[in-house]
Amino acid sequence: MNQLRSVKGMHDVLPEETPRWHFLEDTFRHLVGLYGYREIRTPVLEPLELFVRGIGEATDIVEKEMYAFEDKGGDRLALRPEGTASVIRAFIQHGLHAQEPVSKLYYIGPMFRRERPAKGRFRQFYQAGAELIGAAEPAADAEIIDMATRFLKALGIADVSVQLSSLGDRESRMAYRGALVEFLEKRREELCGDCLRRLEVNPLRVLDCKIEACKAVASGAPSVMDYLSGDAARHFADLRGALERFGTPYEVAPRMVRGLDYYTRTIFEIQGRSEALGAQATLVGGGRYDGLVSELGGPPTPTIGFAFGIERLLMMLGKSAAPAPGRPVFVAGVGDGGVGRAHDIARSLRAAGCRTEVAYGTASLKSQLKRADRIGALGVVIAGEDEAARGCVTWRDMRDGAQIELPLSEIVARVEAMR
């Protein structure tokens, strides 16, 4: 029979890898906790409409990459391709804006995009992100960017660069849109069919086309940063000032394009360099999206956030990042009723907080000791029949093989002393 395999671009995370995931997630939870962020969990399936309205109809994510389908009841659903739109949907649905003036929410979970799988690019990937809802000032943007860089530093990823830009507000974009369309119209013949359509629907998306000829056109296009309104320019200047005060290095990237339509004003990406990921990879993406809450039916609310791909960061970390779990104790069973006795002892050791492995099935003492060695046990408790009758066990120190007889009650103290 055919062996079934996981879907292309979707991967199992095996037990030997999960400690590194836990390490990364714990580091993230701890850091955002220092800033007052609380976790939100939203469903993996959402109404398709949420992403069409939230991310934008003419984006690659919505047009080409989303897993969208009609369910058996005829509802049009999509597997979430990112977390922000869902968080804002939940924020509005549960009236969180009425509870406190500023909401700080973080999330960790799988996202789905039907992209071409490549190094660090998957069809199911895990994202963690943080959204600061209700703060408009440039200092909030600086705080978010600083928090993202401090997180990378806490993981030990230091060789990164923060790319910063501004898309301006509605006024800036109206002015820019005119200039961009004028520029693109002159080079119409060089654009792909998709871009000709984008030119009509959403000309900014032409700048995000992956086709070489379109990229060449885009590289000469005017930058939105030359069209910032007075307000937007001041916001950007204040943000730069705040980052400089924090000592957070950044580079201004006037041609940065983000793949989602909801951004206004500040956008940023954090790039990392690693062999595992290719020369340059985007680790973190984020920005301000002041129009999204009202677009999705909530009150006008300034918002900024970021997200990163967990797999990408783990590829940057290398193999040894996670602290190894403590070494266990192994309980071997010998003689009549040995297995049952071993389980009884293991149970009481675990109740005392001791990480304990136990023999399953019947095997010779020799092979049980071999197994204890293979799993890196600190020591082995050998529970024979006559010792058990005296309330004792044999303790074998796996460092030197020395054996002594001990009351069972002393095992935990002995293990503690060895750590």
Site of interaction with ligand HAM (CB under 6 A): 82-84, 113, 115, 120-122, 125, 127, 129, 131, 259-260, 282-287, 289, 305-309, 311-312
Instruction: Tell me how far, at minimum, the Cβ of 278 lies from ligand HAM, in Å.
Output: 13
Q: Which amino acid is located at 381 in the chain?
A: V
φ/ψ bin of 179: left (φ > 0), alpha (ψ from -120 to 50), beta (otherwise): alpha
Cα-Cα end-to-end distance for the chain: 49
CB of 269 to ligand HAM, least distance (A): 7
CB-based contact 369:357 (threshold 8 Å): no
- Considering the complex, what minimum distance in angstroms separates the CB of residue 114 from ligand HAM? 9
Whether 82 contacts 54, CB under 8 Å: no
Residues contacting 355, CB < 8 A, separation 6+? 325, 326, 327, 328, 329
Q: Which two tokens stand for residue 31?
A: 């850091």
State the nearest-atom distance from the C-beta of 84 to ligand HAM, in Å: 4
Between CA 82 and CA 127 the distance in angstroms is 8
Q: Which of 148, 108, 114 is nearest to 310 (CA)?
A: 108
Q: Which is nearer to ligand HAM, 180 or 270 (CB)?
A: 270
Could you tell me the smallest distance in angstroms from the CB atom of residue 121 to ligand HAM? 4
- Of residues 144 and 377, the one with the C-beta less far from ligand HAM: 144
Q: Return the number of the residue (109 or 376) whose C-beta is nearest ligand HAM.
A: 109
Question: Nearer Cβ to ligand HAM, position 169 or 311?
Answer: 311
Beta bridge partners of 357: 330
Rounded to a whole number of angstroms, the minimum distance from the CB of residue 78 to ligand HAM is 14
Q: Which residue is nearest to ligand HAM (CB)?
A: 285
Taking Cα atoms as reference points, which of 75, 6, 14, 11 lies closest to residue 43?
A: 75
Query: Which residue number, 59 or 356, has a Cβ lying nearer to ligand HAM?
Result: 59
Half-sphere exposure (Cβ direction) of 259: Cα atoms closer than 13 Å:
18
